[in-house]
Each structure stands twice: as C-alpha cells, then as structure tokens.
C-alpha cells in the first residue's frame, strides 16, 4: 500500500489533521452493504496535494474520492459498487455510500477537539444537502433521511498499574499506536472508554487498585495471573466489601492468548483484547 503522501506521523486522527491543515476535506462513510470492512462514521481527511489521514476503502475508492475535491457543492455524495453511477465494482460485492464534506467548518472541528480533550461523547447532525452541522442529542450513527448522525466517542485510554517487564511492554505498545496511557499513581478516575490493567506479581498490591477500578465506569478491568490467582483475588476483594455484580466485571486471566508468560506476548495479547472490546462497544 502506497502511503507516501499520507501524514500518519503528524496525526492519526482525521479531525485533528484538518484543524492543523484547514484546506482539506472530510470523507465520511454513510452506509455500506455486503462485506465492506468499515462501519458508518469511518472518516478520512484528504488534501489537494495528495496527503491523507485514514482510509475508507481500497486504493481505487480513496483515489476516486480525492478526484472530487474542490467541487462546488458543500457535500458530495458518492456511491461505489451496486447501484452506483461510478463504474468501480467492489471485490466483496454490495455497495458503499460516502459523503465528501468540502472544507468542513473549523469551528466544528474545534468543538470536536474540545470534546475529545475533556473525554466527552459528542453527537452531530450533518445536513447532506447544504452541509449544515449541528450538535444533537444522543442517537445512533447512521443515515436519517437527508441527514447523517455522527457519534464520536473519546479514544481508548489505558490505566496501567505495575512495575515489571509486562507493564513496560504494554505501555510501549499502547503509546506506539497513539493510545492515552496513565501509569500507576498518575492515573485519573477511569471513564467509560478507559481500560484498567493491573500487572503485579505480588497480588496483595493490586486489591485497592482493583476495588477502585470496579467502582468506576471503566469498560475493561483486568489483572495478570493464573486461574488460581483470580480465585484468590476475588476472595480478597469480597473481604474488602466488593459485591458480586462488580466482581463480575473483573477479567482474569487476561489476554486473548492464555497462558502467556513472555512479557511482550502478554502485553500484545492484553492490548488485542482491550482494543477488540473497545471497538465492539464504541467503534
């Protein structure tokens, strides 16, 4: 895949990229049929010089979208595959519809950036005829007549507790893909898009951390150790007053590969589990 003109290194976020370079446009996936690998709301930023952040499809689709930059209308609606006017069949069948928002309102982009900074979900109604964008109440992402509702959640954040090689490896991997990491005592209260991971070999050190995490809104709470360690951990949490409903949220052993004893394998396994659950809940 040719990424020579992509600017992934300056920002992996299409919306943030458009704030730094306001001469670009935003492509949004409105709907898909068949086996298309993206969900409605997937976004790509692109600029007249060929720079892009994000992908919406195979190279041919993204290249064709770029060919509509600078159109007179504020929003250009494009259909690819079955039923579309563009002779570009999709290898997986079906069809996709994409809206290209020409030079989106900088104030809207700043509002998105602010919502992400304070880790607040935001919902927007985008008029697909005139390009008007306004904040709205909670609603599902998707087409609603001539409007598209875009739901944007805060990004996945990690609160990592531990001092060994496992914690070091997980921090490095998470930061390498741009996730927000808080370590140990530097952790703030976990919100609904936060994963809390305890990576201690001395399990007595984790009980207070897990008790507080289980009282939070964190979507993922997990602790390193065997099945036997998990049984002892649950007993210890019961002793400090944690109820069964909260205990049901605690994962252990953690990761998609079990058992995983090598620190990098464990870190990769746990990170995969976290991202999969985040995508299922908020993607």
Task: Answer yes or no: are the C-beta atoms of 149 and 124 closer than 8 Å.
Answer: yes
Class level of CATH domain 157-282: alpha beta
230-270: pLDDT as tens digits: 999 999 999 999 999 999 999 999 999 978 889 999 999 99
* Mean pLDDT, residues 104-109 taken together: 95
* Mean pLDDT, residues 62-89 taken together: 85
The rounded distance, in Å, linking the Cα atoms of 158 and 170 is 10
Q: What is the pTM of this model?
A: 0.85
Average pLDDT of the residues of the chain: 90
Query: What Cα–Cα distance (Å) separates residue 25 from each residue in 28, 30, 67, 146, 231?
Result: 10, 16, 12, 20, 53
Q: Please name every residue paired with 197 in a beta bridge, in sequence order, or none if there are none.
A: 160, 222
* Mean pLDDT, residues 50-58 taken together: 87
* Mean pLDDT, residues 89-101 taken together: 82
Domain parsing of the chain, residue ranges? 14-152, 157-282
Name, in order, each residue with C-beta under 8 angstroms of 177's C-beta and a sequence gap of 6 or more.
none
233-243: pLDDT as tens digits: 999 999 999 99
Q: At what angle do helices 165-176 and 263-282 cross, to 10 degrees?
A: 50
pLDDT class of 59 with cuts at 50, 70, 90? confident
Name, in order, each residue with C-beta under 8 angstroms of 204's C-beta and a sequence gap of 6 or more.
236
Least confident of 1-15, 72-86, 174-188: 1-15
Length of the chain as a residue count = 283
3-18: pLDDT as tens digits: 334 333 334 799 999 9
The rounded distance, in Å, linking the Cα atoms of 215 and 246 is 7
pLDDT class of 94 with cuts at 50, 70, 90? confident
* Mean pLDDT, residues 164-174 taken together: 96
């Amino acid at each position: 895949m040719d990424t020579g003109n992509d600017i992934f290194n300056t920002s992996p976020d299409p919306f943030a990229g458009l704030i730094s370079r306001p001469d670009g446009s935003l492509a949004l996936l409105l709907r898909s049929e068949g086996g298309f690998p993206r969900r409605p709301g997937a976004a790509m930023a692109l600029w007249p010089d060929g720079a892009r952040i994000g992908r919406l499809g195979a190279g041919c689709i993204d290249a064709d979208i770029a060919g509509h930059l600078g159109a007179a209308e504020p929003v250009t609606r494009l259909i690819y595959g079955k039923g579309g006017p563009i002779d570009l069949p999709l290898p997986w069948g079906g069809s996709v519809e994409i809206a290209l928002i020409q030079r989106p309102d900088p104030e809207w982009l700043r509002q998105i950036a602010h919502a992400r900074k304070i880790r607040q979900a935001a919902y927007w109604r985008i008029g697909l005829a005139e390009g008007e964008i306004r904040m709205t109440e909670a609603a599902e992402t998707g087409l609603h007549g001539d409007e598209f509702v875009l739901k944007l959640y805060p990004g996945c954040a990690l609160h990592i507790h531990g001092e060994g090689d496992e914690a070091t490896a997980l921090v490095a991997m998470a930061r390498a893909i741009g996730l927000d990491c808080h370590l140990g005592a530097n952790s703030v209260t976990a919100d609904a898009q936060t994963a809390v991971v305890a990576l201690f070999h001395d399990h007595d050190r984790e009980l207070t951390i897990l008790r507080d995490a289980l009282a939070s809104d964190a979507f993922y709470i997990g602790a390193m150790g065997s099945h036997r360690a998990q049984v002892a951990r649950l007993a210890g949490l019961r002793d400090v007053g944690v109820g069964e409903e909260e205990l049901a949220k605690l994962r252990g052993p953690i990761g998609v590969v079990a058992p995983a004893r090598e620190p990098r394998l464990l870190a990769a396994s746990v990170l995969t589990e976290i991202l999969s659950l985040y995508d299922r809940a908020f993607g």
